[in-house]
Structure 1
């Protein structure tokens, strides 16, 4: 049988809403090296000088682009969109939005065109844009930083629209589900990352550079290297990879990050949904499975890839070396570093950064090159983390930065009720991370980072998602999307950072590291805003909105903050992900992107998306005059918007009609 769009998202939302926390508490070749030096001296310098204020990368650019603490937000906000048949994008007067890059568009020159009936093969899909565009970043070129560069973006998961008749399942008398091999391979090909070169043409329009040497697809089948402390250890070895150093593919790539040396960091989020361990006794004692929500039923949570690809069946096989594929789930949940400027490079899963159901990897760069990368672990009741590399960034010695993410300290955050916070190191032998508690090495700590955070007493949060770092103050903002189970028996009690029971709308928490040092182990924090409706608001049936659904937003209301990002001038952009057909979101309309003044916390609605979509991922050129935003899983027919064409996740390009800076 096939499964339609609405049924699919209802079932997927149910899977993703399950809590997993029982606790209440390479070298570069000459060409690539030269290319990156040009990139860092030019394009990246322009972008990073503003974005990472104080880093000293390019002093002249820094003087020009350094943002003030009070950004100019000059557009007139737009209203919510409640039309159930809305199938396009709206931006403020004076702005234009156009579809730029959609699922199925050819990535490489000569790749097959997208077929409206979804008849493209899995081999076609390997060379085409994947589904469900998510995190995105623009890497500008040196000579024309505002007119040419690489767009790199994630493809998180797949929709039934990938196939002509939806997802096909068959089931035997024991309840085991089976899938067609062609569908499974196409689904694996539709995951991962796209790298495309873009430029502004002579007439001023942005176009794809189809013959670019950089154009590349990275999929659920691309070979990748495991690096860092956990690489090569027994918990990463399988019958197909007895060395524990090579894994096929990256999955459920949600948000992202970048490095000051010009690489892209893609993050593996709900990878747990792809695996099954049917051995209940083994599952009960295997922390690396049950603490992360790997299925212990007959089938994996949704896709049943295990019926075609044995490596997704993580049930231990005592007849095979290394237990068959029992360790395959341990090879996902990592930060994957990709060199977009070397199309022949192997992506690297950096195990020193810990294994999570990870949303993002957001950089904060200090004055002396010290760094921290912040992560949200996107499941209700999970934690906020950061990774501090042992080495500092040295812009004068590029090759010395190549493997900088392979050593450092992973921390989990504690938000004390008095507004103080501390980072607890997840280091073997410290803070209870000992043999007595089931840890036998630092590799154990990294692979079971959630369990390690449990033991050190990290604060349970309401689905921590994206993280943004202010370009000059280095204040850190974390979106907590929602947690309808907060305060109920099967979940965590409220705390100061997560103050609402039955938290349907979420909040944003802001904190400042001691001395604004990314490597600090203490911080001050506050709830920046509570999302939700206005006091006195009513629902469709004229009943009063319950108190726990009321927010304290100054300006335009929204629910479920997800994506969050600072532009180079210091505007805070907030993107939402909620069920736009839910009664609790009746007043919110379709999902939206808003712009926020971080000083006053005033919020203005900048964009609304088509029915059924999530708005996620945003990036701009260094001058802030061209913006790209991703529209994920639209429901009707976007971007064709003709009411009949198969909907496609799409990157939308936004410009200001007068050529000015977006948001000004």
Structure 2
């Protein structure tokens, strides 16, 4: 058997911060190195940010002065920015009753580092709950990298765990852990030359998807471990599992009522009725093209980055499953890019692909209940220049009848966001916005597009209504304490290239940034990302208007362009590339990062969103070398923080035999895994 490394890496280095070329190629088919699929010319968020400054007459020092001063220097110099954290008088941007009374973030700060381990504050402990290859379903063999098969992997914990959720069982000492398995790295999974291409492809198909695993609490502490006594709920979902396709687009021949498999799953959400939503994200990089594809699909393919000419994907799954050859099965690409719903309490239930939530590169799908009892779902399309969406159900949530809620996500209205700068003299870096209706389950609002057209080609529909292009909108979640919505805009590495530089946007200019190896100069673009804070009218998720403010401009606190909610920048941790967000019981924001540009490992950070410490970013933990921090998740009792460590040691030169990491140090090669962190004294994490 000939050695096989997938894929061949032509360049060595960290093109995208801490990410290796290999990560970019395997995770998203190098989307940041390609032209943006969005060529609509719609207004970009950077233009909106410029308007937020210039329309209120703040730019009085001239273009050259703005470039030198930076966004953060301007924003932090405005007294009103500090006032809002104390009074709450301005559009809901203040302290909340009870906030901070039991939720002050007093944990120690983890410094930037490159250690091959999870680094946590003093007074805390940690443990791995489950790792790649551990048994999930009954009959799963013991993990052995030299004796892997597709059948074995289909019963074992999958690779590259991402979104993680814990749902309760009747026994409060036990719960179900549900997580996504986003992608595989065959370079690190297999001994060189051990398996042939078809075996590798078959194992790869089985290593994607999702897992449902029983876990149990250790004593009364915050530690959790895999429930080795077994549970009837344990389940693996793979890239070959049967799915029912439901909602208005299911009747369209491009999609149909049955699909097989889910892959590229990134973030997700949990519904009020306890099902798990998982977003299919970078699906475009999984298809081969061996000949011609139908001309009528070319526009749609191009808009989603799906190949239209002869192409071999990194994994070449078509050698074992012909549906991954778009020349053979051209409609297969339309069966991915959806939000899937899995019932963790019923392992025999067929999972669903919910077409009413639109087809895009879903980072996730997070839910909330509107003022009148309906369900709202927030959705981010994770690519440069893409949009933020929201769905609001037609029907109301019934807390007394779980099954009555199972169809709520099939009927309602799908919206896309448009942001505008605020012309008032409030002294804040803010603006207003509208949720623009694209379609209901019965009526399209886009000329020339049917309901199915809008849901299948959601990006094209959003282009037509002038939605605002964003810098990689990832996780979007509503804070259960203050009712505001927080959106992670991870970065835009092409700021200053395709996206214009303007006088209120110094983030595209070459600037000095600090690293663990000393300062260096980089043409970075918006490489560190933002956190946007949205307040919907009346704090009601069903409303179609909102107010927004820029909460964080991430990066090195010593850099002029950074901004931390108006907080003293000498007292915050550096943070780069926010990816996912979550909240503890007090409403504090927890942020995980992916692709740190500042020279250290990624991690999880905490930050109050109100009170005198609003904007005080503190690093809570760092993840092992070469990995991405996924999650974060804080348990309902606030005693445990969960982190999913994805792609540890994924560097361009690493192989199974010569790894860059061995975390979690159970084998001489790395294994993606989910860990828990808790306080040794049993108190709440973070405080």
Please say whether Structure 1 and Structure 2 have the same fold, judged by a TM-score greater than 0.5.
Answer: yes
Task: Evaluate the alpha carbon distance shift between residue 593 and residue 442 of structure 1 in structure 2; reply closer, same or farther with a 3 A threshold.
Answer: same
Deviations 1:383-421 (A, max 9, x none): 000111111111122221111111111111011122010
In the other structure, the counterpart of 2:248 is: 229
Q: For residue 76 of structure 1, give the secondary structure of its aligned residue in structure 2.
A: coil
Q: How does 1:182-197 map to 2 (within 5 A)?
A: 182-197=199-214
Counterpart-to-counterpart distance in 2, 1:298 and 1:167: 27
Q: For residue 385 of structure 2, give the secondary structure of its aligned residue in structure 1.
A: strand
Q: How does 1:452-471 map to 2 (within 5 A)?
A: 452-471=461-480
In the other structure, the counterpart of 2:644 is: 630
Counterpart-to-counterpart distance in 1, 2:386 and 2:352: 25
TM superposition shift of 1:72: 1.6
Q: For residue 204 of structure 2, give the secondary structure of its aligned residue in structure 1.
A: helix
TM superposition shift of 1:645: 1.1
Deviations 1:107-129 (A, max 9, x none): 123311111x3531111000001
**RMSD across aligned C-alpha pairs, in angstroms?**
2.6
Task: Evaluate the alpha carbon distance shift between residue 185 and residue 500 of structure 1 in structure 2; reply closer, same or farther with a 3 A threshold.
Answer: same
Task: Evaluate the alpha carbon distance shift between residue 637 and residue 9 of structure 1 in structure 2; reply closer, same or farther with a 3 A threshold.
Answer: same
Task: Evaluate the alpha carbon distance shift between residue 138 and residue 563 of structure 1 in structure 2; reply closer, same or farther with a 3 A threshold.
Answer: same
Task: Evaluate the alpha carbon distance shift between residue 113 and residue 476 of structure 1 in structure 2; reply closer, same or farther with a 3 A threshold.
Answer: same
Q: How many residues align?
A: 571
Contact 1:610 1:638 in 2 (8 A): no
Higher mean C-alpha deviation, range 500-509 or range 356-365: 500-509
Q: For residue 390 of structure 1, give the secondary structure of its aligned residue in structure 2.
A: strand
TM superposition shift of 1:621: 2.9
Task: Evaluate the alpha carbon distance shift between residue 153 and residue 365 of structure 1 in structure 2; reply closer, same or farther with a 3 A threshold.
Answer: same
In the other structure, the counterpart of 1:479 is: 488
Task: Evaluate the alpha carbon distance shift between residue 281 and residue 246 of structure 1 in structure 2; reply closer, same or farther with a 3 A threshold.
Answer: closer
Contact 1:497 1:526 in 2 (8 A): no
Contact 2:481 2:586 in 1 (8 A): no
Q: For residue 593 of structure 1, give the secondary structure of its aligned residue in structure 2.
A: strand
Counterpart-to-counterpart distance in 1, 2:503 and 2:546: 17
Contact 2:663 2:669 in 1 (8 A): no
In the other structure, the counterpart of 1:353 is: 357
In the other structure, the counterpart of 1:156 is: 182
Structure 2 counterpart of 1:261, from 273, 276, 279 = 273
Deviations 1:105-158 (A, max 9, x none): 11123311111x3531111000001111100111012342xx211110111000
Deviations 1:332-377 (A, max 9, x none): 1111110000010000000011001000101122343222110110
Structure 2 counterpart of 1:649, from 663, 672, 675 = 672
In the other structure, the counterpart of 1:29 is: none
Counterpart-to-counterpart distance in 1, 2:543 and 2:146: 51
In the other structure, the counterpart of 2:90 is: none
Structure 2 counterpart of 1:79, from 108, 111, 115 = 111
Higher mean C-alpha deviation, range 274-283 or range 513-522: 274-283
Is 2:421 the partner of 1:407?
no
In the other structure, the counterpart of 1:57 is: none
In the other structure, the counterpart of 1:508 is: 531
Contact 2:501 2:508 in 1 (8 A): no
Deviations 1:42-77 (A, max 9, x none): xxxxxxxxxxxxxxxxxxxxxxxx994333211121
Task: Evaluate the alpha carbon distance shift between residue 258 and residue 10 of structure 1 in structure 2; reply closer, same or farther with a 3 A threshold.
Answer: closer
Counterpart-to-counterpart distance in 2, 1:224 and 1:198: 26
Q: How does 1:192-591 map to 2 (within 5 A)?
A: 192-201=209-218, 206-210=224-228, 211-236=230-255, 244-277=256-289, 282=294, 286-315=298-327, 324-418=328-422, 419-427=431-439, 433-435=446-448, 439=449, 441-488=450-497, 490-491=498-499, 502-535=525-558, 550=562, 552=564, 554=569, 555-578=572-595, 584-586=597-599, 589-591=600-602
For structure 2, the 5+ residue unaligned runs are 8-19, 43-95, 423-430, 510-524, 650-659
Structure 1 counterpart of 2:622, from 608, 611, 614 = 608
Q: For residue 459 of structure 2, give the secondary structure of its aligned residue in structure 1.
A: helix
Is 2:658 the partner of 1:658?
no
TM superposition shift of 1:496: 8.3
Task: Evaluate the alpha carbon distance shift between residue 497 and residue 329 of structure 1 in structure 2; reply closer, same or farther with a 3 A threshold.
Answer: farther
Counterpart-to-counterpart distance in 2, 1:153 and 1:226: 21
Q: For residue 259 of structure 2, give the secondary structure of its aligned residue in structure 1.
A: strand
Higher mean C-alpha deviation, range 206-215 or range 376-385: 206-215
TM superposition shift of 1:326: 1.1
Counterpart-to-counterpart distance in 2, 1:454 and 1:138: 36
TM superposition shift of 1:282: 3.8
Length-normalised TM-score, structure 2: 0.78
Counterpart-to-counterpart distance in 1, 2:439 and 2:409: 16
In the other structure, the counterpart of 1:318 is: none
Task: Evaluate the alpha carbon distance shift between residue 565 and residue 279 of structure 1 in structure 2; reply closer, same or farther with a 3 A threshold.
Answer: same
Length-normalised TM-score, structure 1: 0.81
Contact 1:533 1:551 in 2 (8 A): no
Task: Evaluate the alpha carbon distance shift between residue 114 and residue 498 of structure 1 in structure 2; reply closer, same or farther with a 3 A threshold.
Answer: farther
For structure 1, the 5+ residue unaligned runs are 26-65, 170-178, 237-243, 316-323, 537-546
TM superposition shift of 1:99: 1.3
In the other structure, the counterpart of 1:3 is: 5
Task: Evaluate the alpha carbon distance shift between residue 276 and residue 23 of structure 1 in structure 2; reply closer, same or farther with a 3 A threshold.
Answer: farther
Deviations 1:522-548 (A, max 9, x none): 100011110111336xxxxxxxxxx66
TM superposition shift of 1:498: 11
Structure 2 counterpart of 1:107, from 136, 154, 160 = 136
